[in-house]
Amino acid sequence: MGLRLLLTTVQNSIEEPWQRIPSVIALFAAEASFVLLDSSHDHFAAISTLLIHSSKLNLRVIPLFDNFVWSTSVNFKAERLWMLRLVYVGLNSDDDALLYIRNSIFETLMSFYVSPLSDFESKELIIKVIQKSVKLHKIGCHLVKHCSLFSWFSSLISITRQRLNREEERFLLKQVLVVLKVANDVISCGSISKWLQNSALEQLAELTANLFTFILHDATLTDEAVALINPFLQMIASLLKISQKRKIYQPHFTLSIEGLYKIYQVVGQCNHATIHVNPEFALEAILMNAPPDSIFLMNEERLENFLIWAISTALQAESSQKLMSYESRIYSMENSGEERYKNSLVSKVLRWLTASVIIGKLYHKSNDMDPRFAESQNFKSLDSLLEHVENMSGQRNEITTGCEELLASTIFYLQLLPGINYEVLPSVVSALCLLLFDASNSAVGKTDLLEDYSSFISHCSRVRCPPEANPTWRWSFHQPWKDHSQELSELEKMDEYHACQILLVIISNVLGGKKLESANLSPVDIEKSGVFKWERSLLKPES
């Protein structure tokens, strides 16, 4: 009799030929058929009462949803778990998605999750429902835009681990792993990413900040916590990528120099963990962050350790890329050898450090940003930039940590690794000159260049002011930012290139601890060779 009543109720619900029944309704009917075969079943009375009092099922709602989720009966836990499993399994199509959205199913589940009535099993099922639901684009958009999904996640993560026992902590770590997977799935959706960029990056930034504190709270992590690092680094990189695309006047997300060092520190501590942590993910996440102007405030030992790790990781990544199939390698060499260099992590590390030095020298003060920096947008060449930095150095309290020579040596080394790249060469030379020839705390002062100082300034005057000195400059992970206001002709580019080469010779001698007059190779030797004159003649039109 129960089965006959169920079939009649379902049949009466179909009002037109070939009408689609939502998956969750069909599954409810299938599950109800098993319940009705056993009168002693916990849900027998509730389902029988529903069928007796209804001539047909309402295909626009989930039967007994509110009754079971907020049940106050003796079997309240069994009813709630039965309904949550039904909600999880029944979400399969756009029809189901529309039904869930119309009935505020997700709002109810998210509210119940944080209520005192929720237990571990219920929470786990609710998170699984949300994880499955974001696979449907319509629900993913609804959760982010109308249910404040990222803010809700933040409220879950804000629970401090110190308050939890071991069992609770392990459960929470599993939940956080699902949260990270859900967040990365949502961010990867183009339309949602665009919406976050325009309207709600702050929600994602808040979640990331809470996760940063939760996951990287110390350098000693359990295996469960180590499993969170790779997806978390992926999330940081995605957030920073979205932030880079925002308008200048919009708030942006950045990590401090201490935050960047914390990422390196924790990843370094995970080398011996049973779960592999990809150091390339960590380096990419760091390089996605805008170059910090406070790099000079780092302890020299810490900075050295960080630079060694960054360079070795970048070189290892580049070596891995070279282990391609023979055909792919030949194709890459023939078609995109230069592009491969420009997109390598080594080139990105070089650009990132160069930008950190330039903006650090221009912006950083012991208290606040230099108010006269806006004038730098009128600088046309490197010599005027050096003069500005030298003048300002006497008007502020410089904080020196002895990092200048370390940074200069690192940048010079990176510049030599892949060969000199013209696009970033003016910036590299500018950074090296700011590090080595800044009178306030330089390795070489004017007295060392006294005999050739006018020649040195002459070479600097042929090099454009680096684009990083432009107040509108913004860091880009994928390619160098270009200052279109300083476009040069081919002949002017060649002249600048030659000046940069001469300055690199001077810098090489300085880093080698040699006076210019006693150096093995001097700028005069290069000029006398006639190579530059010959190269320039190739660009001049024949008379």
Q: Are residues 208 and 69 in the same domain?
A: no
Cα-based distances in Å from 501 to 32, 392, 512? 81, 28, 16
- Structure-block tokens of residue 524: 């005069």
The per-residue pLDDT for 389 is: 82
pLDDT, tens digit, 9 for 90 and up, residues 358-387: 998 887 543 444 444 444 456 788 888 888
Phi, psi of 464 (to 5 degrees): -65, 150
Enclosing domain of residue 175: 148-289
Nearest to 143 by CA among 61, 66, 135, 190: 135
Q: What is the distance between the alpha carbons of residues 438 and 361, in angstroms, rounded to a whole number?
A: 9
Provide the pLDDT for residue 200: 87
Do 97 and 220 reside in the same domain of the chain?
no
Residues 106 and 221 in one domain: no
- Which residue, of 87, 113, 144, is where some domain finishes? 144
135 lies in the same domain as 168: no
> What is the phi/psi pair of residue 366, to 5°?
-70, -20
Q: Are residues 281 and 381 in the same domain?
A: no
Per the structure block, which two tokens stand in for 423? 């696009």
Rounded distance between C-alpha atoms, residue 526 and residue 388, angstroms: 29
Nearest to 300 by CA among 399, 444, 406, 397: 406
Whether residue 163 is contained in a domain is answered as yes
pLDDT of residue 534: 52
| pLDDT of res. 156 | 87
What gap in Å lies between CA 209 and CA 477, rounded to an integer? 21
Q: Please tell me whether residues 274 and 356 are part of one structural domain.
A: no
Q: What is the mean pLDDT of the chain?
A: 82
Q: How far apart are CA 211 and CA 150, in angstroms?
A: 11
- pLDDT tens-digit readout, 268-327: 777 655 667 888 999 999 999 999 988 888 888 999 999 999 999 999 888 776 655 334
The closest alpha carbon to 109, from 62, 141, 74, belongs to 62
76-109 pLDDT, tens digit each = 999 999 999 999 999 998 889 999 999 999 999 9
- The pLDDT of residue 278 is 86
Which of helix, strand or coil describes residue 464?
A: strand
Q: What is the pLDDT of residue 334?
A: 45
**DSSP label at 233?**
H
Q: Are 124 and 193 contained in the same domain? A: no
Same domain, 420 and 360: yes
Query: Which residues of the chain, if any, have pLDDT below 50?
Result: 325-327, 329-335, 337, 365-376, 396-397, 399, 439, 441-442, 447, 450, 515-518, 543
Hey, is 51 helix, strand or coil?
helix
DSSP state letters, 328-390:
HHHHHHHH-HHHHHHTSHHHHHHHHHHHHHHHHHHH--SSS--GGGGGGGG--BHHHHHHHHH
The number of domains in the chain is: 3
Are 520 and 508 in contact by the 8 Å Cβ rule? The answer is: no
Residue 312 lies in a domain: no
Report which secondary-structure segment, H or E, holds 209: helix 201-215
Amino acid at 411: I
pLDDT at residue 494, rounded to an integer: 84
Question: Are the beta carbons of 233 and 216 closer than 8 angstroms?
Answer: no
206 and 124 belong to one structural domain: no
Contact assessment for residue 412 and residue 432, using Cβ atoms and an 8 Å cutoff: yes
For a pLDDT cut of 70, what percent of the chain falls above it? 79
Cβ atoms 418, 347 nearer than 8 A: yes
Per-residue pLDDT at 448: 56
In a shared domain, residues 116 and 153: no
Residues 494, 422 share a domain: yes
6 domain-assigned: yes
Query: Which of 144, 163, 180 lies at the terminal end of a domain, its last residue?
Result: 144
Tokens of 442: 């330089």
pTM above 0.85, yes or no: no
Is 308 inside a domain boundary?
A: no
Residue 517 identity (one-letter amino acid): E
- For 109, other C-beta atoms within 10 Å of its C-beta total 23
Whether 170 is covered by a domain: the verdict is yes
Residue 410 lies in a domain: yes
161 lies in the same domain as 174: yes
Domain end among 264, 289, 314: 289
Contact (CB, 8 A) for 62 and 99: yes
Task: Evaluate whether residue 303 is within a structural domain.
Answer: no
Residue 209 lies in a domain: yes
